[in-house]
Each structure stands twice: as C-alpha cells, then as structure tokens.
C-alpha cells in the first residue's frame, strides 16, 4: 500500500503546486467523479454507462478472437500440416499493431454497426446496437487473437506425447484424444493466453473508440474530455480503465488457481 | 499352447530432421504364445521400444506385419494394452478416474467403470489413494496406478515398456513380485521391454536378447526356473552373466 499512497501524496503536492486544473486536477475532483459514476457528464453520458458500452464491445471482439483462436490453435498445435500451412501466413500479420489496421478497417466497414447489419434504423435497440461498430470489434479482435492463438498452439505442442499414446492404447478415438487429452492438458496454457488476450483487447479499446462514428465508451470519454480541457474526467476515465482491466484479470487468475492447480503441482 | 501374436520381418526406418534415414528395427520376427511372459533386453537406444510401439499399433512398421489372433495390427486395439515408463497418467484426473479412463473411452457407464477402477486399484494396493492426484504419489505408486489402468481394459496382451525403469532398486523388486502375482490371478500374456538383465531373468519365461541398433534378435533363451525365483540360485547367476556378456559384446561391437 505504500507506493499508491506515496503516489497520491505526490499528486496532491504537485496539483497544489501547479494550481492548474487542466494540467493536473486535484485528487478530490477525480475521486468525486469516481464515487458518483452514474452522474451525467456534460454531453458524454455517465462514466458507468461509458464503461458498460466499452465492456460490451471488448467482450464481443474478444469472444470472436477466442472462438477463432482456440480451435485454430489446437488444430495447428496437433497437426503439423495445419501448422505449416497457416503459421507463415499468420505470422505476417502478427507484427502489425492493431492501430495500423484502422484505415483499412474504416475503408471496409466505415461506421457500419450491428444495427446496420440487422437493418434497424430507429428504436431503443438501435441505440444499443449502433454502439457496436464492426470496425471497433475488429480492432479489439485483432488485439486478442494472437496471444490466444499462440498459447493454444504451444499448449497443445507441449502436451506430453506419452499422454496421447496412453489414451490411444486405452481405446480413445481421434475425437476423444482432442476432447479428453489435448484440450485438458493444454488448458492451463490456453487460459493464460485468454488472460493476456483479454488484457490486450481491453488496451485496444481506446484506439478503437477513437475511430470516427464513436460517440460513447471510455476511450471516447477520455479523448472527448481532453478536447473540452476536462482533465479530471480524463484521469477518472483512465483510472476506471485500469480498475476494470485489473478486475477482469483477477477473475481469470482466480479461475486459473482454482481449476488448474494440478499443473503448478505436477512439476 | 496357442500362438496369439506374431510379428514377421518387422523393419522400421526413421528419418531424422536433416532427412537422413536411420534404421531402428531390422527384420525382427517373433511369436508369443498365450500366457507367456516374454522379456526383451537390449542395449539402450537399440530400438526395442520402437519394436514395442509397432506391436501396439502406435507406430507403423516400414515393412513387415504384426498379426494378433488373425487380425493385422495397424492401429491400437483394446486387446493389446500398454504400460509406459513414466508420465503416462493424466495429471488433471484423480487416480480413480485415471484407472477408469479406458472404460470411459469405450463408452462404459460411470457407475460401472468406477466399480472396475476400484477393483483394479485394490489389486495393486492403491485403494486408499483413489482420490489423490498423480503428482501427490511416489514414482512406484504412479506405476501401480498405470498398471491398474492397463488392466482395467482387460487386455489379452500387456506390452510393458521399461515400466520400472525409473524406480529405485527396492521399489522395483517389490513391483516385479506384484506383477508376477497379478499375472497369476489375471492370466495375461506379457511382452516386457527392459534394459535390466536381472529384471528379465527374474520375470521372463523367455528372454529375447536384442542387438545394438538396428534392433535384431541376437538370441532367445527359454527360462525353465519355477517362480518365485531366487536371485541366490546359481542358475539365476549363470543366466544373468551369460546375457550380460552377450550385451557387452553388442555394445563393444559398436565402438570397435
């Protein structure tokens, strides 16, 4: 607890010393924003509603990354042919930062959203679904996809071959080898990739929410508050990004420890 | 006694990463009769494990074939079980679920397969550890569980690939005795690969001595000693000495 307390003390001192709300707002003004997250901020919605919108976007992009990354990774980890076929191709795209996709993604999807896809133009549902822009989901997807893919591939590759052989002599079919041996054996590594992937997806959020057509989300809140010189809202937004990210990570960690303690102990 | 398994002219050529061919097994033929305990000894790295993997159906022979009861073996079958040297238990499953894995793969109902697993765990003296995880057990206990798991599928032939190879001398002798006892009550045909000559002479009805790589059969010895065998028996010593000298010649042959 010493380091955060020290940081806050330095902040209080610096804010008092600088005396300019735009450069560094007072601690209590930021805390006040965080303590009343449902309060409506001028023209930007409330902090909590923006966080909620962001969460839904991340979950969409992230689930897509997991739904594609895990099965592909498992296949590539087990079948040498699939690995040779896909690995070079996928590795060409790996070094491209998610943000570098923005212009191309805008050209592809523009400001199309889930609402566009469903042909909605008005109504309450439209307001919700219109927040789920394809371009944003794509950026978040790209961020989460690679860590999930890599850890699934390596998880499966590192499965002790004796386990697979044992299952086969015990009468396991090819499907059972996947279902009962490869997946459980690779699961700790896959979970680890899911955890890293979620972190990166969440980090890609801000860049995704800076895309044109964005009128909500924490990323939008931060950039928009910056243009209005409301630095206290900027910092409150950053703190909530940090808190939500850390909370999601804790949930994963809890799950990892509970369910996969065998891996730590099986050394 | 009826022959239940024959291997004829088995050869296996592997390719290394650089594409160089390596002959692991060269024209091995052998037949195994029902309830026989056959031990295969050979210099380490000679290809005896490969031979066992071909017989199990895990590995394909480059040429030659394995026939079990008029059926050619191309992939693993339930009638042929296998016990590996180590790390073969599923680390995320409790001991009882490990033993029940075979029956689970074949689609047996949970209640039935747990009953079978309990039975074989008691046979190997591991009933008290049904709910332990593999990492909580000693090496000897893990091998007991691995043997129980192979037995749970009730195979006719049990292939054992240096199953006691990583155990300390004392545990090893204990498990050898127990294996003989289990074989008495459960009537199994066993093909047992080991690099321990002492183990082969203690266990086998027949000992096959392999050459250095590529694995060929150098000599086959029929052992007429009754069980339980005593290591103090002069015949035991004579056989051990004979096999050791054969193996030494093989190893020296490579280096010269």
Residues paired with B14 in a beta bridge = B22
Region A205-214 average pLDDT: 78
Cα distance from B245 to chain A (closest Cα, Å)? 33
pLDDT score, position B256: 47
A3 located within any domain? no
Residue with the larger pLDDT of the pair A124 and A64: A64
CATH number for the domain spanning A34: value is: 1.10.3720.10
Contact B58 A165 (CB under 8 A): yes
Task: Provide mean pLDDT across the span A130-143.
Answer: 87
| pLDDT tens digits for range A150-170 | 999 999 999 999 999 999 999
Q: Which residue has the tokens 């000897």?
A: B140
Whether A10 is in a domain gets the answer: no
Of residues B59, B75, B74, the one with CA closest to residue B24 = B59
Min Cα–Cα distance to chain B from A185, Å: 8
Alpha carbons within 13 angstroms on the beta-carbon side of residue B151 total 22
Closest to A238 in 3D by CA, of A221, A252, A213, A250 = A221
- Find the distance separating the first CA and the last CA of chain B, reported in whole Å: 42
- Cβ of A169 within 8 Å of Cβ of B149? The answer is no
Buried b (16+ CB within 10 A) or exposed e, A225-263: beeeebbbbbbbbeebbeebbeebeeebeeebeeebebb
Cβ distance A184 to B104 less than 8 Å, yes or no, reads no
**How far is residue B76's CA from residue B84's CA, in Å, rounded to a whole number?**
14
Which residues does chain B have with pLDDT short of 50?
256
By Cβ distance, the residue of B53, B75, B84 closest to A166 is B84
Q: What confidence score (pLDDT) does residue B227 get?
A: 84
| pLDDT for the residue A265 | 64
Percent of chain A with pLDDT over 70: 97
In chain B, what are the domain boundaries?
A: 3-79+155-255, 90-154
CA-to-CA separations, A89 to A49, A102, A138, A153, in angstroms, rounded: 39, 20, 19, 15
Cα separation values, B92 from A188, B42, B132, Å: 11, 35, 10
Q: B253 to chain A, minimum CA–CA distance in Å?
A: 32
> B44: which 2 tokens?
């380490």
User: Which pTM does this prediction carry?
Assistant: 0.84
In B90-213, where do the E strands start and end?
A: 157-161, 189-194, 206-210
Please provide the average confidence, as pLDDT, over all residues in chain A. 87
What was the pLDDT predicted at A123?
A: 78
ipTM of the complex: 0.92
Query: What pLDDT score was predicted for residue A207?
Result: 78
Selected for mutation to probe chain B from A162, A166, A185, A258 (highest B CB count within 10 Å) is: A166
Does the structure show a pLDDT above 70 at A267? no
* Edge-first strand listing for the sheet containing B21-33: B21-33, B3-15, B63-68, B71-72
**Residues on chain B touching A163 (C-beta within 8 angstroms):** 87-88, 90
B75 neighbourhood in chain A, CB within 8 Å: 168
Distances (CA, A) of A103 to A90, A99, A135: 20, 9, 10
Q: Return the pLDDT at A148.
A: 96
Q: Is the Cβ pair B56, A169 closer than 8 Å? A: yes
Domain contains A5: no
Q: For domain B3-79+155-255, give the CATH superfamily.
A: P-loop containing nucleotide triphosphate hydrolases (3.40.50.300)
- How many distinct structural domains can be found in chain A? 1
Q: CB distance from A165 to chain B under 8 Å?
A: yes
| Distance between A250 CA and the closest CA of chain B, angstroms | 23
pLDDT value of position A127: 76
Cβ <8 Å between B81 and A181: no
pLDDT bucket at A178, cuts 50 / 70 / 90: very high
Which residues in chain A are contacts of B102 at CB distance < 8 A?
170-171
Per residue in A53-110, pLDDT (tens digit) is 899 999 999 999 999 999 999 999 999 899 999 998 898 888 898 888 888 888 888 8
> Which pLDDT band, with edges at 50, 70 and 90, does A34 fall under?
confident
Identify whether A126 is part of a domain. yes
Q: With bands split at pLDDT 50, 70 and 90, how would you rate the model's confidence at A33?
A: confident
Is A12 among the domain residues?
no
Whether residue A6 is contained in a domain is answered as: no
Q: Give pLDDT tens digits for A181-206.
A: 999 999 989 999 999 999 999 888 88
Q: What is the DSSP letter of A113?
A: B
Cα–Cα distances in Å, from B164 out to B13, B58, B80, B181, B197? Answer: 28, 21, 19, 16, 13
* Burial of residue A63, with CB atoms counted within 10 A of its CB: 0-12 exposed, 13-18 middle, 19 or more buried: middle
pLDDT at residue B101 in the model: 96
Q: Pairing state of beta strands B157-161 and B80-83?
A: parallel
The domain containing residue A187 runs over which residues?
24-266
Sign of the torsion angle spanned by Cα atoms B97, B99, B104, B108? negative
Mean pLDDT along residues A132-158: 92
CB distance from A168 to chain B under 8 Å?
Answer: yes
Alpha-carbon distance B149 to nearest alpha carbon in chain A (angstroms) = 9
Which pLDDT score is estimated for A264? 66
Domain annotation covers residue A14: no
| pLDDT value of position A72 | 95
Contacts of B149 in chain A (CB under 8 A): 166, 170
- A259, closest residue in chain B (CA to CA): B92
Considering the domain boundaries, does residue A230 fall inside one? Answer: yes
Tens digit of each residue's pLDDT (9 = 90 or more) over A216-228: 888 888 888 888 8
Give the count of beta carbons closer than 10 Å to the beta carbon of residue A93. Answer: 11
């Amino acid at each position: 607890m010493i380091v955060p307390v020290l940081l806050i003390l330095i902040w209080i001192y610096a804010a008092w010393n600088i005396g300019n709300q735009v450069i560094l707002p007072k601690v209590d003004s930021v805390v006040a924003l965080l303590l009343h997250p449902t309060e409506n901020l001028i023209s930007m919605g409330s902090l909590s509603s923006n966080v909620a919108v962001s969460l839904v976007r991340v979950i969409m992009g992230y689930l897509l990354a997991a739904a594609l990354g895990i099965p592909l990774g498992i296949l590539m980890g087990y079948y040498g042919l699939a690995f040779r076929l896909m690995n070079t191709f996928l590795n060409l795209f790996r070094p491209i930062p998610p943000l570098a996709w923005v212009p191309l993604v805008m050209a592809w999807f523009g400001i199309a959203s889930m609402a566009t896809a469903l042909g909605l133009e008005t109504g309450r549902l439209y307001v919700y679904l219109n927040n789920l822009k394809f371009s944003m989901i794509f950026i978040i997807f790209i961020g989460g996809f690679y860590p999930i893919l890599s850890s699934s591939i390596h998880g499966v590759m590192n499965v002790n071959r004796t386990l697979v052989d044992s299952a086969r002599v015990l009468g396991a079919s090819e499907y059972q080898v996947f279902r009962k041996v490869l997946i459980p054996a690779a699961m700790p590594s896959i979970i680890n990739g899911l955890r890293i992937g979620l972190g990166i997806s969440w980090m890609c959020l801000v860049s995704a929410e800076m895309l044109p057509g964005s009128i909500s989300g924490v990323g939008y809140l931060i950039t928009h508050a910056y243009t209005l010189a409301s630095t206290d809202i900027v910092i409150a937004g950053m703190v909530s990004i940090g808190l939500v990210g850390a909370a999601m990570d804790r949930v994963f960690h809890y799950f990892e420890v509970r369910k996969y303690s065998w891996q730590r102990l099986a050394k | 006694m009826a022959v239940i398994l024959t291997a004829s002219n088995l050869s296996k050529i592997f390719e290394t990463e650089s594409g160089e061919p390596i002959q692991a097994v060269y024209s091995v033929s052998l037949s195994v009769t029902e309830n026989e305990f056959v031990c295969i000894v050979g210099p380490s790295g000679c290809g005896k494990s490969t031979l066992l993997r071909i017989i199990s159906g895990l590995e394909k022979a480059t040429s030659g074939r394995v026939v079990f009861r008029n059926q050619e073996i191309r992939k693993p079958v339930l009638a042929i079980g296998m016990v590996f040297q180590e790390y073969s238990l599923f680390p995320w499953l409790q001991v009882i679920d490990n033993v029940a894995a075979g029956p689970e793969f074949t689609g047996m109902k949970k209640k039935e397969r747990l009953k079978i697993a309990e039975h074989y765990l008691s046979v190997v003296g591991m009933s008290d550890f049904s709910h332990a995880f593999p990492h909580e057990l000693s090496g000897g206990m893990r091998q007991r569980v691995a043997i129980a798991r192979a037995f749970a599928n009730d195979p006719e032939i049990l292939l054992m690939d240096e199953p006691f190879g990583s155990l300390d001398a004392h545990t090893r002798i204990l498990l050898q005795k127990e294996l003989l006892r289990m074989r008495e009550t459960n009537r199994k045909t066993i093909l047992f690969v080991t690099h321990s000559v002492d183990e082969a002479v203690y266990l086998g009805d027949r000992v096959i001595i392999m050459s250095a790589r590529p694995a060929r059969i150098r000599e086959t010895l029929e052992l007429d000693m009754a069980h339980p065998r005593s290591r103090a028996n002069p015949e035991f010593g004579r056989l051990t000495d004979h096999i050791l000298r054969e193996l030494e010649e093989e190893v020296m042959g490579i280096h010269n």
